[in-house]
């Protein structure tokens, strides 16, 4: 859970957000008995009170076994074989009828306690909710069972026997051997498992499959499909196909790409974005328009794995490569670039590390690998995945340092990435290899024009920048001059006042010198003080 306990099953680490600490209610028991923790709803919760009566400070004290009996009597046994290994009491109902499925990414807050009420772990105190994939064995067995029964927003208490928690070993300094534990758990959120980096294929498992073996590229699979768009069923059938070639049977790419994640007997929902469904063309046969999301329910009934690379000898690989390459070429010609990529990558996975048994075989292997990388570069150009274009062209140039197509395709990718200088260099290398390549000459002119356009744009940007700086400086200068004028005016005014005062003082002194009677300090004290 939050902090790894040595003897607990392997666990993820958290990601997440803040929330209030759970409240603790202590039930009083017989004299000398130990306090027992029983969860209560949070003070800021707007949910209904649970159907189970909450223990309060006024209730009688009970010891661990008594508390276990109460929860067992009031709760629900979640274990498949009904051995009361995980008892659940709902403290606060959820607000969503949907529940997590196997493999879903769930996020929870939790507090773990012994039956004595002693707390041994709490995500709220760390202010970080905890996330894991439900039903995948990443956490305690009781957690996998418990969270699959919850609704979003639900708060519950789980009473867990040792065999569903920390077992006979317990955890040093925290959990005694063979100890039952209590968890308060709140399900904050859950979402399906993304099977692709771009989130285009999301899986939710309804029924877990058997064993650990999964289909691989080239495997034969037997499946049952149900396809829906906006809730409308448009496809329902049993179908068999080769993984990597599902399009031949009208099965979308997203279903094909999910096969190597499934186990025999598994039934799952696949949420497909248009890229992995029927794309921008849609599917007129199924009355599905362009760029529509679709959902497939897929059951993997059976499969037969294809041989892995290490299971084939070099002769078998070399003999299979031409057929796989031709299949990839067929997909490319029909615009099915993702499917073509799968075929070309199979050739590379088989042969890239092979040397062959003689010069002739070695050259043939290199030809297959070089062609596969060139074709992959072309596919990725069509898919606008320019980083992979550059990577595959680099692989070709490692095998053939003067390969004209590799230089040209890498130049195209760099031109699309606005790397005009590098692109120009690649097209110039094309001309060094083949001076008659007019397409490369045209691309060099495009690069030169683009470089010139960027220089002009840079000039305008810097000219505008310098003009703004000059305007700002001029504005600052005017403000400074205005401030200086005010200061000078103020200083001149103060100087005039001082001069007038000095002039008045001088006149008074001159009058006294002419013999006028000087006022008596003592006789005029009151008037002088007032003035």
- Point out the domain boundary residue: 306, 329, 354: 306
Report the largest interatomic distance among the alpha carbons of the chain, rounded to a whole angstrom: 138
Q: How far apart are CA 399 and CA 40, in angstroms?
A: 69
Contact yes or no for 278/294 (Cβ under 8 A)? yes
Output the pLDDT for position 510.
53
Looking at 306, 332, 360, which one is the last position of a domain?
A: 306
**Lookup: tokens for 250:** 């009208």
Residue 13 within a domain? no
Identify the pLDDT of residue 490.
Answer: 63
The boundaries of the domain holding residue 166 are 64-191
pLDDT of residue 347: 97
CA dist., res. 340 & res. 383, Å (int): 11
| Confidence at residue 494, expressed as pLDDT on a 0 to 100 scale | 61
Question: Which CATH number goes with the domain that contains 438?
Answer: 1.25.40.10
**Is residue 460 domain-resident?**
no
Q: Please report the pLDDT score of residue 10 as a whole number.
A: 37
**Domain termination site, one of 306, 330, 347:** 306
Q: Domain of 245: which CATH number?
A: 3.10.50.40
Residue 419: which of 450, 392, 397 has the closest Cα? 450
Instruction: Please list the rounded mean pLDDT of every run of 10 residues in the chain (531 residues).
Output: 40 35 33 35 36 34 61 87 93 91 96 92 94 94 96 95 94 90 96 94 95 95 97 97 95 96 97 95 95 98 95 95 96 95 96 91 96 98 96 97 97 96 97 96 95 83 68 68 66 62 59 46 38 37
The pLDDT value recorded for residue 350 is 96
* Contact indicator for 69, 75 with CB cutoff of 8 Å: no
């Amino acid at each position: 859970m939050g902090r790894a306990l040595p003897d607990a099953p392997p666990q993820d680490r958290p990601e997440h957000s803040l929330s209030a600490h759970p409240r603790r209610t202590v039930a009083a028991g017989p004299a000398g008995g130990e306090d027992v923790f029983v969860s209560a709803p949070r003070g800021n919760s707007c949910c209904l009170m649970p159907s189970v009566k909450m223990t309060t400070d006024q209730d009688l004290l009970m010891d661990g076994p008594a508390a276990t009996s109460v929860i067992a009597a009031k709760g629900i046994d979640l274990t498949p074989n009904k051995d009361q290994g995980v008892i659940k009491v709902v403290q606060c109902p959820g607000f969503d009828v949907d529940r997590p499925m196997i493999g879903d990414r769930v996020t929870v807050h939790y507090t773990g306690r012994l039956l004595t009420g002693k707390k041994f772990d709490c995500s709220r105190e760390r202010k970080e909710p905890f996330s894991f994939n439900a039903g995948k064995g990443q956490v305690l067995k009781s957690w996998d069972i418990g969270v699959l029964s919850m609704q979003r927003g639900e708060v519950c208490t789980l009473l867990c026997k040792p065999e569903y928690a920390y077992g006979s070993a317990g955890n040093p300094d925290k959990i005694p051997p063979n100890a039952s534990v209590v968890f308060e758990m709140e399900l904050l959120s859950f979402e399906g498992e993304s099977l692709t980096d771009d989130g285009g294929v999301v899986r939710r498992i309804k029924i877990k499959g058997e064993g650990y073996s999964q289909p691989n590229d080239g495997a034969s699979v037997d499946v049952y499909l149900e396809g829906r768009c906006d809730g409308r069923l448009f496809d329902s059938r049993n179908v068999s196909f080769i993984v990597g070639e599902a399009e031949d049977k009208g099965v979308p790419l997203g279903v094909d790409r999910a096969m190597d994640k499934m186990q025999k007997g598994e039934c799952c929902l696949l949420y497909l974005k248009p890229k992995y469904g029927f794309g921008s063309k849609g599917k007129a046969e199924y009355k599905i328009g362009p760029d529509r999301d679709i959902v497939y329910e897929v059951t993997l009934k059976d499969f037969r794995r294809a041989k892995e690379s290490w299971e084939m000898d070099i002769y078998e690989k070399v003999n299979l490569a031409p057929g796989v390459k031709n299949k990839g070429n067929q997909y490319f010609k029909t615009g099915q670039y993702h499917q073509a990529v799968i075929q070309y990558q199979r050739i590379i996975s088989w042969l890239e590390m092979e040397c062959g048994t003689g010069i002739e075989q070695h050259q043939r292997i290199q030809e297959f690998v070089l062609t596969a990388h060139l074709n992959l570069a072309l596919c990725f150009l069509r898919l606008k995945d320019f980083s992979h274009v550059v990577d595959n062209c680099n692989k070709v140039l490692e095998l053939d340092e003067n390969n004209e197509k590799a230089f040209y395709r890498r130049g195209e990718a760099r031109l699309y990435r606005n790397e005009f200088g590098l692109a120009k260099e690649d097209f110039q290398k094309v001309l060094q290899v083949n001076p008659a390549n007019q397409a490369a000459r045209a691309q060099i002119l495009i690069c030169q024009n683009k470089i010139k356009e960027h220089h002009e744009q840079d000039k305008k940007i810097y000219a505008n920048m310098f003009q703004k700086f000059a305007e700002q400086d001029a504005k600052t200068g005017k403000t400074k001059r205005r401030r200086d004028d005010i200061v000078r005016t103020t200083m001149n005014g103060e100087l005039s006042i001082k001069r007038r005062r000095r002039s008045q003082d001088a006149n008074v002194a001159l009058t006294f010198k002419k013999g006028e009677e000087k006022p008596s300090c003592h006789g005029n004290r009151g008037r002088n003080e007032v003035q």
